[in-house]
Amino acid sequence: MKLFAMITLLALAGLEGLPVDTKHYDYNCETRTGNYEGDIVLTERQGEIVISGRDPVVTDVDKWANNVVPYVIEAETLTSENAKLIREAMTKIEDESTVRFVPRKQDRDYLVISGETSGCWSTLGRNRGLNRMNISPSECMLEGAIVHQLLHVLGFGHVTNQQDRDYYLDIVWDNVRPEHAQSLKLHEGRILPNYGMPFDMESIMHFGQNHFSRDGADTIIPKNKDHTIGQRQTMSFKDVRKLNIMYPCGYC
């Protein structure tokens, strides 16, 4: 883990206005598969919870034991260069936390990372047995996009749907595709707690401003026009802080 002083300096400097790599990244790769909130694949149990009108809850039993995520990278769908970038994204998370990604041996619960041709998506938290994550090489093979999906695997939801978001964001419902209106529903507050910190405009777990758009027009507009949302470059200070609260060293 990097020195706490370095993290503190980042916080003081602020990460407002981190640019989105729109030249190479299309948010549609996170929405076209029709999963929960666009890019989260729910288990049968989690799906039943959603059908009942509640949110899937990530509790301590849904976190990865001892902060370790055993993984397999599918050689059939991902090249060695793809695998290298995925491991670099894992290292970004490891450098900021006590979480470790290790090649699977005989572990019961593990993550399989594939490179199917369409979409970026992942399961949420640790589920019994096989957990899945997909990074389309032609659409979302970017380090920040991979980090976004890995944080879902660790149990992070989307910041955009936190209970306090309406103080910071306006949703332009007329621009939202009807089939995705549910994807902008406010959480009950348990899937991604604030941990006592203010709303995080710079989180890598935000939707982009035109997520779920009918025609490319903005659907999510910051009330403070100086802010941008939806960056897929790096974890924010608050992302790192939340990760270390979720996976404290005491679990190591």
For residue 252, what are its two tokens? 């190591």
How far is the C-alpha of 26 from the C-alpha of 224, rounded, in Å? 24
Residue 187 assigned to a binding site: no
- Residue 102 three-state SS: strand
CA distances from 7 to 92, 97, 156, 230, 236 (A): 14, 11, 20, 21, 10
The dihedral formed by the CA atoms of 252, 82, 131 and 20, expressed in degrees to the nearest 10: 80
Q: Say which residue the tokens 């902060």 belong to.
A: 67
Catalogue the E-assigned strands of 105-192.
110-114, 120-123, 130-135, 169-171
Q: Quote the Cα angle for 15-16-17, to 5°.
A: 120
- To the question of whether residue 152 is assigned a binding role by annotation, the answer is yes
Residue 148 annotated as binding? yes
- Tell the burial category of 33 from Cβ atoms under 10 Å away from its Cβ (0-12, 13-18, 19+): middle
CA 10 to chain centre: 21
Q: Which structure tokens are listed for 5?
A: 């002083």
Would you call 114 helix, strand, or coil by DSSP?
Answer: strand
Binding site for Zn(2+), by residue number, is 148, 152, 158
Binding site, by residue number, is 148, 152, 158
